[in-house]
Amino acid sequence: MNDDDNAPETSDNGPDLASLYLKSVKARMDPDQFATLDQAVHELAHMLSDGHTGIFEAGGRENFTADVQRELLAVMAILTTGRMDHHVAELPGPDGSTGYAVVTADVANDPETARAPCQGLLPAQNGG
C-alpha cells in the first residue's frame, strides 16, 4: 500500500484524458475554432515534452476566441496534472479585460476565494 494514498494522481494519464476531453469539445465547438484549439494543443504538447516555453501560433486571432482560450487552459491543466477535476474561472483583469485561472472545485464554488487572486492585480482605489 502506498503511504501517499491521498496524493494527487500523476500526469501519466494526462494525454489520454486530454484526448477524451477534446472529443467532447469537438462535438460542441465551431469547426474553425476547434481547428485552432487542436493546433494549439499540438503546439502545447510539443512545448511540454521538449521543456520549452513559447508563443502559440495556432490559427488566426479571429479564431483564438475566449472559448478557445478557456478550452486550451482546460486541456493544459489536464495534460500537466493528469486530472479533470479543475475549473476554468473567469477573472477580471486590471484594465477591465478578461483573464482566466484554472482552479479547484472548492475555489470555483466559493466566490470570495475565487476573487482573491485578483486582489493584487486590481489597481488601488483612490481615497480607500
**Maximum CA pair distance of the chain?**
58
Model-wide pTM > 0.75: no
Residue 33: pLDDT over 60: yes
Closest CA to 59 of 85, 90, 30, 32: 32
Q: Using an 8 Å Cβ cutoff, are 40 and 59 in contact?
A: yes
Tell me the average pLDDT across 72-94.
86
For residue 63, the model assigns a pLDDT of: 79
DSSP string, 15-72: HHHHHHHHHHHHHHS-HHHHHHHHHHHHHHHHHHHHT-------S-GGGS-HHHHHHH
56: which 3 cell numbers? Answer: 502559440
Average pLDDT, the chain: 77
Return d(Cα 62, Cα 60) in angstroms, integer. 5
Assign 125 a pLDDT band (cuts: 50, 70, 90).
Answer: very low
